[in-house]
Chain A
Amino acid sequence: MGSALINLAYLAAATLFILGIKGLTHPRTAVRGNQLGAIGMLIAVVTALVDQQVVNYVWIIAGLVIGSGIGALMATRVQMTDMPQMVALLNGFGGIASTLVAGAALLDALQIDLSLVTIQFAIATAASGLIGTVTFWGSMVAFGKLQGIVKDVRLSGAQIINAILLVIALALSGWLVVDPTATWIYWAIVLVSTLLGLSLVFPIGGADMPVVISLLNSYSGIAASAAGFVLNNNALIITGSLVGASGIILTSIMCRAMNRSLTNVLFGIWVASDEAQSSDEVYGGRVKSANAEELAMLMEAARRVVIVPGYGMAVSQAQHAVRDLVNLLEERGAEVEFAIHPVAGRMPGHMNVLLAEADIPYDKMKEMDEINPSFDQTDVVIVIGANDVVNPLARTDPGSPIAGMPILNVDKARSIIVIKRSLSPGFAGIPNPLFAADNTLMLFADAKKGALDIMNALKAV
């Protein structure tokens, strides 16, 4: 195949990727969109395979077989609650692939044709190595945190270490551009970027992982784009740039939903509250605990019920129990909807996938802005494993660390039921006056058990 034909095929692939993402703008067209993307990828891979530069297929086929096996295994085995970990791993693998590709391209070019080693080539190689490696190690740490293997640590001075590492990596990159024949510089960049990736993500708290995963998603795209600049391949450049944009947009949505700036999240800065109320002051004698029977009585007459799921629902795999409760409520004539805060869970859209897994139709899942005006016409709100995203202090206390964060205004509902194991604070570390409100009843239980108990009690009413 001539080079024009090859480039046309890559263009077709890139077009299919764009159409594929466009399909994702609606659940009805999404499956098709994903298939279009897969067809685009097939075209790109076949095109690469028939490229005349490819003379030896043994390693390629071995790699494709091993990679497909692992990928298929991961995709079919992963539980929906563990999707954030899966995405973190995939981000990381994309990043390391770009690092390896750029390294191999450098070695190839030096041996085969020195004229390939232009300034663009050298800059792009250094960028691939840097961004790809940071993505890989950052994603590994994020995976470890989501999986609970890596604990949160507050590294003081992490920002200084990061700045120093970044300067070293950039200096090495400059050196590689000046002298691209010194391949050891490339591996030095990879080494420094390894340290940078680790120290960037280690100090970031577990609850900030939605932001980190989105950002690493973006980096993995930018790394692919950089590899495209190395190989002068438009398919890589376009696709990487699309993914880079996607990650950045999700990152900014997550930051806005927490009312924090990106630098604030990345540097693990948390505004200390000046007049933090102790939990005794907020809760002292005012928290009302109820049992499942009492709650069932309350729900019996409810005409409109809104359920607010949080990370606690994912942890206890409560989505199926919640679905059964919803079905029962609907049989009894109640209208039930879900209110989903953008940062509920550990990645963007995490709750929606869990609810979809439990067969809850997507038109029942409402965004924050859509459902907030309806809380004062809601009879019962059930908060399942969520905390900070329903804390009214965000609205009322300008000194609070979550001041200004957009929240679900569940306190406006007639009655609120909170299923939670204890009164322990959420990530923000502050007490939640919602739990002590006059119209709130607490059910101290694990999310799944709580939902099941209420359902059984409701059946008995």
Chain B
Amino acid sequence: MEMLVVSLTVFVLALFVGVEIITKVPPNLHTPLMSGSNAISGITLVGAILSAGSLGPQVATILGFLAVIFATINVVGGFMVTNRMLGMFRRKD
């Protein structure tokens, strides 16, 4: 139960940090914000790696393997497409 309170504290504080910075992102960059935040929500990959590589039952390994695929698409696709989009934004020269 103590763990839960600590985790909840982290969750709520991070929520506030998120609201603080994200309200400052200009509408110009809202699409890259979505794809970029999508990429970092692929952090589930960490959990997926732990499941796919652990000693647990075969079924869990396969579920972990599938999760690694989906999360990696999210991470690699997200960061790459965000990079591609951001490269297009230029000032008047």
Contact = CB atoms under 8 A, between A and B. Distances in A.
Q: Does chain A bind chain B? A: yes
Interface of A: 10, 13-14, 17-18, 20-22, 24-28, 30-31, 33-35, 37-38, 40-41, 44-45, 47-49, 51, 53-57, 59-60, 62-64, 66-68, 70-72, 74-76, 78, 80, 83, 86-87, 90-91, 93-94, 96-98, 100-101, 103-105, 107-108, 111-112, 118-120, 213-214, 217, 220-221, 223-225, 227-247, 249-250, 253, 340, 342, 347-350, 352-353, 356-357, 359, 361-365, 367
A149 B55 CA distance: 42
A24 B30 CA distance: 9
Interface centre among A60, A71, A112, A243 (most CB of B within 10 A): A71
21 contacts: A24-B36, A34-B32, A54-B49, A74-B81, A75-B80, A103-B60, A108-B51, A108-B57, A118-B1, A120-B3, A229-B4, A238-B10, A241-B11, A241-B14, A246-B33, A249-B23, A347-B34, A359-B88, A361-B90, A362-B28, A363-B92
Contact of A67 (B26, B76, B93): B76
Contacts of A34: 32, 36, 79, 82-83, 86
B68 A63 contact: yes
A228 B52 contact: no
Given A107-B63, A224-B41, A71 B33 contact: no
Interface in B1-40: 1, 3-4, 7, 10-12, 14-15, 17-19, 21-40
Contacts of B80: 71-72, 75-76
Interface of B is mostly: helix
A342 B28 CA distance: 10
A28 B49 CA distance: 34
Interface in B50-70: 50-57, 59-70
Contacts of A220: 38, 41
The 3 closest A-B pairs by CB, nearest first: A67-B72, A63-B68, A245-B18
User: Per DSSP, are chain A's interface residues mostly helix, strand or loop, or mixed?
Assistant: helix
Contacts of A91: 38
Nearest to B63: A104
B89 A27 contact: yes
